[in-house]
Amino acid sequence: MVPIRLWRLPKQDFSELMGYFRAVYRADERSPRSLHLTAEAIAMNPGNYTVWHFRRLILEALNVDLHDELNFLDNIAESNTKNYQIWHHRRWVAQKLGTDAANKELEFTRKIISLDSKNYHAWSHRQWVLQALGGWEDELDYCHELLKEDVFNNSAWNQRYFVITRSPLLGGLKSMRESEVNYTVEAILAHPENESSWRYLRGLYAGDTQSWIIAPQVSSVCLKVLGSRINFVFALSTLLDLLSHGFPSTQAFRDAVDALRVPDDNQTDSNLAKTACLILERVDPIRVNYWLWQKSKLPQ
Amino acid sequence: MGELATEKHVQYILSVEKKKDDFQSVVMEHLRMNGAYWGLTALDILGKLDTVDADEVVSWVMSCQHESGGFSGNVGHDPHILYTLSAVQVLALFDKLDVLDVDKVTNYVVGLQNEDGSFSGDIWGEVDSRFSYIAILCLSLLHQLDKINVEKAVNFVVSCKNMDGGFGCTPGGESHSGQIFCCVGALALTGSLHHVDKDLLGWWLCERQVKSGGLNGRPEKLPDVCYSWWVLSSLIMIDRVHWISKEKLIKFILDCQDTENGGISDRPDDAVDVYHTYFGIAGLSLLEYPSLKPIDPAYALPVDVVNRIRLGKRHAI
Ligand SMILES: [Zn+2]
């Protein structure tokens, strides 16, 4: 959790202001004066949800131009990017403005994401904007842009999956699969230690295990990474997954896995999956029990 | 490895409760109900709940209830489901659920369920799978789960499941340990854990343990004590907790203590707060650290409190 950012204001002034706020709130005075007071109170403590609630009531009563409200939010958002209230308020305003707001909201989240590429609120807001207001056209490119910057960005991978499975402009997972597999394989080869890209690859075959085990790109990326003999944990666990689903291994895989053994691994096993588990137990000791479990469920 | 500075933490929590007037407290006053739940549950786990005046707490909690049946984070604020659950949990800690007008609270929560089965946090309509868990837990504690459409509620939670086995805040939202805890908890409380791909999720969760022994909330993020709770409780609910290194996690949490003034921080050497103090202690309880009361991973309350409530149900029938 992040510490709350505050204006450096003497406690006295803050208490006084909150005193005024409580007075208009209790009197339910939905006036320009009250609106102004909520702005001041929010500036000092944007976490106070009651102030936001009251502000919405006032905005509705006074029929304020909500474009101004978005500008107001822009000004306080950057220093409060993890505040639930601000994001929720923003969604409330954007919803009222409708498709008009789509571009501004995509632009805005892009700005926040450029400051904090894994900001959960910003991503959540962006997904809502796409689904409720539209603007899917450039989204896949946007994901690519972010992954080019940081291929370990799990939020960007997630968004990519969101786009290929949900964009009305693309044909869905199956029709995107081939190009996405190629894209992902490239990302994996650049950084085989990247959990996100491996999970994305597996996700491209969600609900279609048959295609997963026969896909030549999948087995070949495993083999390439295993052959490099560094950062191979995810490649080896993927091979394990393939084997558990009936992937027919070849001598090339056997050789690649054998080459990963160290002299200490005196336990050799004719079973490839079992050897893979033995290696994973050694190279990923913090999760040794997980790999032991993987080994235990292999057919004896 | 150091030990848990129990006495210091008790003093720290009590001091936070008393400090109503300093600047930080004034700014946090709107979520005091959450703070009360964190602090008091931590005290209970440490076996020191009797150091607080129960009547005083209960009357303050009740003064936060609104006509709608919901509770606010403090006197003079608006009701929200977040604080309604904390209020019910605090009353449960003190075995004072009988002061509640159960129908009234139930109606408030039931009224927040949407057509698609999801729950809003309050009248303003923000939807999040966290609120599904909160609503389901709140009604479970009151033995009123049958008052909502459970099937639809479960379907919404399941719709937040991702291809990596985790769950997000809404359908398509990125998997996040906090959201996973809420979704797995909601499914556990409704007897729907068969919707979870336990092996896949278990692996994702145990990948959250980093070299220092701490747990992070998502890939490539820093470890944080509060994730000890979110990840651990999820792993326990799906029966995969032995997949992480408990010893290393215990050491990480203990390293986050302020052994001079009490309290636990998110990471070693950061400033302590009551939120991370609670999650650190609750995490240690899940890890079966000596002399701590066991806590229930789905109810987020001490096991004896949960048993008391379950027993109460049997009597009611
Ligand atoms: Zn934290």
Q: Do A14 and B273 touch (CB under 8 A)?
A: no
Which of A76, A96, A116 marks a domain boundary? A96
Chain B residues 197-256 within an 8 A CB cutoff of chain A: 202-204, 206-207, 209, 211, 213, 218-221, 226, 242-245, 248
Which of A42, A72, A96 marks a domain boundary? A96
Report how far residue A93's alpha carbon sits from residue A101's, in angstroms, rounded to the nearest whole number.
9
Q: How many domains are there within chain A?
A: 2
pLDDT confidence of A14, banded at 50, 70, 90? confident
Does residue A176 sit within a domain? Answer: no
Does residue B1 sit within a domain? Answer: no
| pLDDT tens-digit readout, A267-293 | 667 799 999 999 999 999 999 999 999
Distance B270 CA to ligand 1 centre (A): 11
Report how far residue B33's alpha carbon sits from residue B82's, in angstroms, rounded to the nearest whole number.
9
| Nearest chain B residue to A118, by CA | B221
Does residue A50 sit within a domain? Answer: yes
Does residue B248 sit within a domain? Answer: yes
User: Which secondary structure element, helix H or strand E, spans residue B15, and what is its range?
Assistant: helix B6-18
CA dihedral A101, A107, A112, A116 (to 10 degrees): 130
Does residue A36 sit within a domain? Answer: yes
Catalytic-residue membership of A11: no
Does residue B52 sit within a domain? Answer: yes
Contact A180, B163 (CB under 8 A): no
pLDDT confidence of A79, banded at 50, 70, 90? confident
Distance B257 CA to ligand 1 centre (A): 14
Query: Is A168 buried (19+), middle (13-18) or exposed (0-12) by CB count in 10 A?
Result: exposed
Q: Please give all residues whose CB falls under 5 A of ion ligand 1, grouped by chain where several chains appear.
A: A 1; B 224, 226, 266
**Residue A262 has what pLDDT?**
81
Amino acid identity of B127?
A: V
User: Which secondary structure element, helix H or strand E, spans residue B161, and what is its range?
Assistant: none
CA B296 to chain CA mean position, Å: 10
CA distance A116 to chain B (A): 12
| pLDDT tens-digit readout, A110-168 | 999 999 999 999 999 999 999 999 999 999 999 999 999 999 999 999 999 999 999 99
Q: How many domains are there within chain B?
A: 1
Q: Do B126 and A286 touch (CB under 8 A)?
A: no
Judge whether B20 is closer than 8 Å to chain A, CB to CB. no
Does residue A55 sit within a domain? Answer: yes
CB-nearest to B77 from A50, A206, A286 is: A50
Chain B residues 288-317 within an 8 A CB cutoff of chain A: none
- Reduce the DSSP state of residue B10 to 3 states and report it: helix
Amino acid identity of B251?
A: K
Name the catalytic one among A82, A104, A118, A224. Answer: A82
| pLDDT tens-digit readout, B52-103 | 999 999 999 999 999 999 999 999 999 999 999 999 999 999 999 999 999 9
- Neighbouring C-beta atoms of residue A167, cutoff 10 Å: 17
Q: Which parts of chain B have pLDDT scores under 50?
A: 317
CB-nearest to B219 from A128, A196, A206 is: A196
**Residue B312 has what pLDDT?**
81
Residues of A in contact with B204 (CB under 8 A): 199
Identify the CA nearest to B40 among candidates B257, B302, B297. Answer: B302
Q: Which domain holds residue A52?
A: 15-61+86-96
Alpha helices in B21-67 (DSSP H): 23-28, 32-45, 54-62
Among B28, B243, B276, B279, the strongest candidate for a mutation testing the A interface, having the largest count of A CBs within 10 A, is: B243
Residues of B in contact with A50 (CB under 8 A): 30, 72, 76-78
Does residue B29 sit within a domain? Answer: yes
Q: Has the ipTM of the complex gone over 0.85?
A: yes
Q: Do A206 and B163 touch (CB under 8 A)?
A: yes
**Residue A10 has what pLDDT?**
56
Does residue A40 sit within a domain? Answer: yes
Please compute Rg for chain A using Cα positions. Answer: 26
Q: Do B220 and A153 touch (CB under 8 A)?
A: yes
Buried b (16+ CB within 10 A) or exposed e, A251-268: eebeebbeebeeeeeeee
Q: Which domain holds residue B176?
A: 6-313
Does residue A27 sit within a domain? Answer: yes
Does residue A170 sit within a domain? Answer: no
Does residue A57 sit within a domain? Answer: yes
Residues of A in contact with B175 (CB under 8 A): 158
CATH number, domain containing residue B49? 1.50.10.20
Read off the tokens for A145. Answer: 């842009």
Read off the tokens for B171. Answer: 């359908």
